[in-house]
Each structure stands twice: as C-alpha cells, then as structure tokens.
Structure 1
C-alpha cells in the first residue's frame, strides 16, 4: 500500500483530532471517533443518530477496553477508504 493510499492515525489526528476522517471526507460529516461493536468485533468509527456512519480503524479489537486504549493512545491504523 502506498503512502498516499493510507493515513496514519497520527497524520489524521493532526488534521482533525478525534474526528472521523472517512465520515468527513466521504459524507461531509464532522463526527467524533468512538468505540463501536459489530459481529466482527470492536472498532473505531463514527455514528449519527445512533446509526453507524464509518468504520475508521483497519483493525478490529477483541475487547472494548483494547479499542478504548487504542483510541486514547493513537495505536491504531486509519482506513484509507470506506
């Protein structure tokens, strides 16, 4: 994957701290990052009115605590596209 195709969480955070990059880029919505859960596991993403808008993290985490820690420390990878 080329460097232009992916953003590190640090680069994304510098531009929009705590805001979902994909939600902003593809839906023009400035939404806060949060820990969410799907059948695949926990992930970092955004919601609007209780409905998911974007999955921002490439990773799925095995627990809510692990996802919360990743969000707090920046130890996660930003998805480049939806």
Structure 2
C-alpha cells in the first residue's frame, strides 16, 4: 500500500505514506501542507531511518480504523 488507509477512510483522499515524527518517536503516516493527517503504523520507531526501512520492506503493522 502506498497511501494511508485511515486517511482514505476518513477523507476519501489518497495521501501518500511518509515518515513523520511525534513526541513518541517516528511513525508511518500521512500529512499534507497543513500537517499530519493520520498515524497509519501501530509501531513507533527510534529513528527516521528505521521507520523508512520498515516502510520500504513492508515490515510494519497497519492500524485498524476502529
């Protein structure tokens, strides 16, 4: 998947997955020019590089929409 499932479910728009940062660490999510839209990954990662490897290798868990 190359776009955020949760963002699409909420906004009916396909936002590309990217690496984002929060206080808890780095995560796979979506954003636009206004800022973050959704956190798609269950996991938080210690660095952007580790998160990018998880995304590239499809080694992450999609959060459910419930």
Determine if the TM-score, normalized by the shorter chain, exceeds 0.5: yes
Tell me, yes or no, if structure 1 residue 42 matches structure 2 residue 21: no
Query: Which has more radius of gyration?
Result: 1
Determine which structure has the larger helix proportion and give its number: 1
Aligned length: 66
Q: CA RMSD of the aligned region, Å? A: 1.1
Contiguous gaps of at least 5 residues in structure 2: none
Determine which structure has the larger strand proportion and give its number: 2
TM-score using structure 2 length: 0.93
TM-score using structure 1 length: 0.76
Poorly superposed stretches of 4+, deviation over 4 Å: none
